[in-house]
Structure 1
Amino acid sequence: MNRTIKDATVKRFHYDSHDQLRRHLQDFIDAYNFGRRLKMLKGLTPYEFICKRWTSDPDRFIIDPIHQMPGPNSYPALPRFRPGTAV
């Protein structure tokens, strides 16, 4: 796994800051885990497995798993400005 990460990130790109590296590593790991086919799940990705279970037994789920899929508009919460605090 470490070699895969290094080959796909550090050895291909130049990063101006540690934050830029951290963001790219997190994006890569999220994409890798989302698309990784696992033997334990009979060759399905974790997302495909959850969707398959949802279609066969939707009563076990509180919300539709499709709404939990990470997408281009999914951003972490940004710190909010609070009145009376130093900027």
Structure 2
Amino acid sequence: MEHRLTRLCHPWTNGQVERMNRTIKEATTKAFHYTSLEQLQIHFKDYLWAYNSARPLRAPKGKTPIGFILDQWHKNPQPFKRDPSHYFPGPNT
């Protein structure tokens, strides 16, 4: 991954972030009514987990973000300090 910064006061150069923000907003605040901030936080956490574990993306070679991390760990575990598989619940947990 390449880390890039956008120019100050130029939000149109930050399209991917804006698109992700819109996706999150459509799935949370525009779709549900929350009576408290805690409800929103719980739903947001659940939504991010579902997004990262179920939705394949184009950039990581058509895999889910979690699947991509686990594949990288299986190929080369040296850069990882710990086995990442215990962070992701699966069918055996």
User: Do both proteins adopt the same fold according to a TM-score greater than 0.5, normalized to the shorter chain?
Assistant: yes
Paired residues in the alignment total: 71
Partner of 1:32: 51
Q: Residues 51-82 of structure 1, C-alpha deviation per residue, up to 9 Å, x if partnerless? A: 111212223322111012258xxxxxxxxxxx
Distance, in Å, in 1 between the alignment partners of 2:35 and 2:89 is 26
Q: Alignment partner of 1:39: what SS?
A: coil
**Is contact 2:70–2:85 with CA below 8 Å preserved after alignment?**
yes
Which runs of structure 2 are paired with 1:45-84 in the superposition (5 Å)? Answer: 45-69=64-88
Q: 1:18 aligns with which of 37, 57, 71?
A: 37
1:35 alignment partner AA = A
Distance, in Å, in 1 between the alignment partners of 2:85 and 2:78 is 15
- CA RMSD in angstroms comes to 2.6
| Identity fraction in percent | 51
Q: Residues 33-56 of structure 1, C-alpha deviation per residue, up to 9 Å, x if partnerless? A: 332312111101111111111212
Residue ranges of structure 1 left out of the alignment (5+ in a row):
72-87
**Is contact 2:52–2:66 with CA below 8 Å preserved after alignment?**
no
Q: Alignment partner of 1:41: what SS?
A: coil
TM-score, length basis structure 2: 0.53
Distance, in Å, in 2 between the alignment partners of 1:53 and 1:3 is 29
Distance, in Å, in 1 between the alignment partners of 2:46 and 2:34 is 14
